[in-house]
Chain A
Amino acid sequence: MKSALPWYALLLPLVSAGAITLFTRRLKTLSSLISVAAVLGSFVCSCLIFGQKGLSAPELKWIDFGTVFTVPFGFVLDDLSRMMLVLVSGIGALIHIYSLGYMRDDEGKSRYFAALSLFMFAMLGIVLANNFVMLFIFWELVAFTSYVLIGHWFERDAAADAANKAFFTNRIGDFGFMLGILLVWMSTRSVVFADIAPRLSILTSHPAFLTIAALLIFCGAVGKSAQFPLHVWLPDAMEGPTPISALIHAATMVAAGVYMLVRVGFIIQASPSALLVIAWIGTISALLAALIATQQSDIKRILAYSTISQLGYMMIAVGLASNEAAIFHLFTHAFFKALLFLGAGSIIIMLRHEQNIWKMGGLARHLPITFLTFVVGALALIGFPLFSGFFSKDTILALAYDHNMPIFVVALFTAFLTAFYILRLVVVVFFAKPRSDAARASDESPLVMTGPLIVLALLAWLGGYGFFARHFLAIPHEKELLLIVPVLAITAMILGAGLAIALYRNRTSEPIEVDLLRRLFYIDEFYRWLLDWTQELLASISAFFDRWIIDAGAVRGVSGGTWGIGALLRLIQMGNLQAYAFLFGLGIVALIYFAVFR
């Protein structure tokens, strides 16, 4: 059945972004309402699309060079993309509404909402794209809009730097992604997913080529999903407004990487070595980020590292060739991480932009709704039984248990760390006594902010249940459920949580300091050193080239040569009339000699 609904879902946010930029720049309230209306419209369309299986949308011919290179502007509307559509627009809608409260008095409100709409457009584009080129363009658009949004408060240097960092880091990954796309196109002569699938045998007949292509495509996901070693941008991206952190971290930007890998899973799964690399990158990211998160003191940074860690879990699932497990965790993570971020945002704004957890404390009484919903999010995150994270994380752990024991052990340890760092956060922020005036004077957030929190809390709690989730995805059926995996996972979780509570109860400052973790494994320092070093080297090579080849060789060489020849020729001009006459005569003799005797 053909329907224009996907077009509406995609284009409504774009229209909103255009309208705000062109017409309602000065009318801030109207701008925000337009944006919210657009995303709600998009959400309704998405729900309608979700309700109709076998829907297809009219396709546009876009770029057409015959058999060499054809790019349609078309949509893919399978179960996966329909589910993502609802998820993205749904979480997006909640965050738009929440932003109404959070950004109420912001100077650049119009700009903020225009960028937010554009971001939704780009993100929905990624979800709907049915070919690599479209996907890549929307992919870049997401990078751009996230740049704008992270740098929303660009008057602050830290925000501007963070926006740059996010953009550049993404560019590094995207470069690999582009090369990967080109490789796939080179061999299969197609960029449309549906056309590549039947021609996959061309790729599989060259395993090395396929592995390189798959890993290059994975590069894009490493950048976008903030995996090691390109994870550095995500914590810094916390400089943006908190709703943006929630949006980028929860359902959309970082999830785009995982979604893309699942979308092209058929290519990646054809290469076992690429899968292994992906699984290990995911494992390393999960462990590294969880370790770092245990020592951070900025509430949003803790959550940011938690996001990297959870994305690591999804990468493990992708690497173990289980798209369903990856998407399942993406799905539950979207809810609980959006919830945690918006909860953090609620705290931050009520404490007048205080983000240091050691300046909070005792907030359970002051912000009861935020507290309860935050706890729900935390429980879902650590995989507390009967909360959504439990189901999805268990699926991944069971998968690892089945396929790769070392990864399972690391993932289990990461689960322990996860419980530790989030309980640390909860204990320090919500219990004991307030440790600053702002914390003592804080009050509950308005309904536009708590409303989305409550909705998300319900989703974070229920999102993992089979009856709920199976409507949305094909969850890997729990074949002969291994009891040992959940038992181990719950043990790890209880250990971590207990340790955190025992360590941090009634503390007013950090009891243990691990410099290596506080300084983020010196990765930023390493990059700085690497950049400085390579830059220095490059600069000195360029300087040498400029000074000695361009300046000394080309410029001074030409001028000096001309001058020298001139000086030589000048010697002939001695000013003696008779000498001139003599030379003249000599010339004539030479002429005659050549004309007559040769």
Chain B
Amino acid sequence: MVTLGHYLIVSGILFAIGFAGVMLRRSLIIIFMSLELMLNAANLSLVAFSRFHVQPSGVPDYNAQVFVFFIITVGAAEVAVGLAIIVALFRARQTTHVEDINTLKF
């Protein structure tokens, strides 16, 4: 029997993997993908909540699913903007490595 706990554990593992990616990888593209992974981890937990929060009438709670749609939309928009920024950055610096992008310094 798969319970809510299993879903949440998977979701947490995904989120942790995403966070570790963001923290540890050097390539901006990979970091970006890890970010998406974190978003999807959140989506997974929301969908799981929706599925397991069933009302007395037998209908699942759709509020969480609406959230998921919002996140997907925002994620899509983010990809569009983020990739554009990465392309622009690459054009300016000929690199997508975060170590080389350190002008946010005193």
Contacts and interface: CB of A to CB of B under 8 A. Distances in A.
Interface of A: 570, 573-578, 580-582, 585
A100 to B, nearest CB: 84
B22 interface: yes
Interface in B21-63: 22-24, 31
A574 B105 CA distance: 6
A578 B98 contact: yes
A574 B106 CA distance: 7
A381 B22 CA distance: 111
A342 B39 CA distance: 110
B96 to A, nearest CB: 12
Q: Is the interface of A mostly helix, strand, loop or mixed?
A: helix
Interface in B2-36: 19, 22-24, 31
Contacts of A582: 23
Nearest to B35: A581
B106 A580 contact: no
Interface string B91-106: 0000000110111111
A580 B23 CA distance: 9
Contact of A578 (B23, B103, B106): B23
A575 B22 contact: no
B20 to A, nearest CB: 11
A576 B102 contact: yes
Interface of B: 19, 22-24, 31, 98-99, 101-106
A581 B104 contact: no
A575 B35 CA distance: 20
B98 to A, nearest CB: 5
A570 B104 CA distance: 12
Contacts of B106: 570, 573, 575
Nearest to A580: B104
A581 B28 CA distance: 13
Contacts of A576: 98-99, 102
A566 to B, nearest CB: 9
A574 B103 CA distance: 9
A133 B105 CA distance: 72
A105 B37 CA distance: 107
Nearest to B101: A577
A304 B102 CA distance: 88
Closest 9 CB pairs of A and B: A575-B105, A575-B102, A573-B106, A570-B106, A577-B98, A575-B104, A578-B23, A582-B23, A581-B22
B93 to A, nearest CB: 13
B22 A578 contact: yes
Nearest to A575: B105
Contacts of B19: 585
Nearest to A577: B98
Contacts of B101: 577
